């Protein structure tokens, strides 16, 4: 009897807790992306360009982040530290870390210097960061 009740409670509580944990990871990823966007704007205010901005130098505390962040120039083809970069804008793609299996189908987030903030369902194929022009859903 006790085992049946315990099993029933676990069957109800575990999916709810798992959803809560996944949602928390997604919100932390969004927060980190917005923090990096803020740091990019501060960098440009000081340097009048995004050139030389390094994600590694400005992403303290991302060790616990279960998402990978990709930062590129306005074209999506070069790093902001690359000589060939278009340093008048930037693009950030935040996607689940493939090593963290619990988030394999979680949402993928995109934001850029033009103010676009897109969310892609993790079950669909996300276009390359250089080819994102249309947002199916904003966040």
Q: Which domains does the chain have, with CATH numbers?
A: 2-131 (3.30.700)
Looking at residue 36, its pLDDT comes to 93
Element housing 67 (H / E): strand 67-73
As a whole-number percent, the residues of the chain with pLDDT over 70 amount to: 90
- What is the rounded CA–CA span in Å between residue 93 and residue 72? 9
Element housing 11 (H / E): helix 2-47
Q: How confident is the model at residue 63 (pLDDT cuts 50, 70, 90)?
A: low
pLDDT digits (tens, 9 = 90+) for 96-112: 888 877 776 788 899 99
pLDDT digits (tens, 9 = 90+) for 74-86: 898 998 888 898 8
What is the average pLDDT value for the chain, to the nearest integer?
84
Looking at residue 68, its pLDDT comes to 87
Contact yes or no for 85/52 (Cβ under 8 A): no
Q: How many CB atoms lie within 10 A of CB 53?
A: 23
Segment 88-96 mean pLDDT: 91
Looking at residue 56, its pLDDT comes to 82
């Amino acid at each position: 009897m006790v085992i049946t009740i315990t099993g029933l409670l676990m069957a109800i509580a575990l999916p709810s807790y798992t959803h809560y944990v996944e949602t928390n990871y997604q919100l932390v990823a969004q927060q980190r992306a917005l923090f990096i966007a803020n740091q990019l704007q501060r960098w440009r205010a000081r340097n009048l360009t995004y050139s030389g901005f390094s994600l590694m130098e400005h992403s303290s505390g991302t060790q616990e982040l279960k998402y990978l962040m990709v930062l590129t120039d306005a074209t999506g083809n070069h790093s902001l530290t690359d000589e060939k970069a278009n340093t008048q804008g930037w693009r950030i793609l935040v996607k689940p870390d493939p090593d963290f299996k619990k988030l394999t189908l979680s949402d993928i987030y995109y934001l850029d210097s033009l103010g676009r903030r897109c969310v892609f369902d993790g079950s669909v194929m996300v276009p390359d960061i250089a080819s994102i022009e249309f947002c199916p859903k904003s966040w």
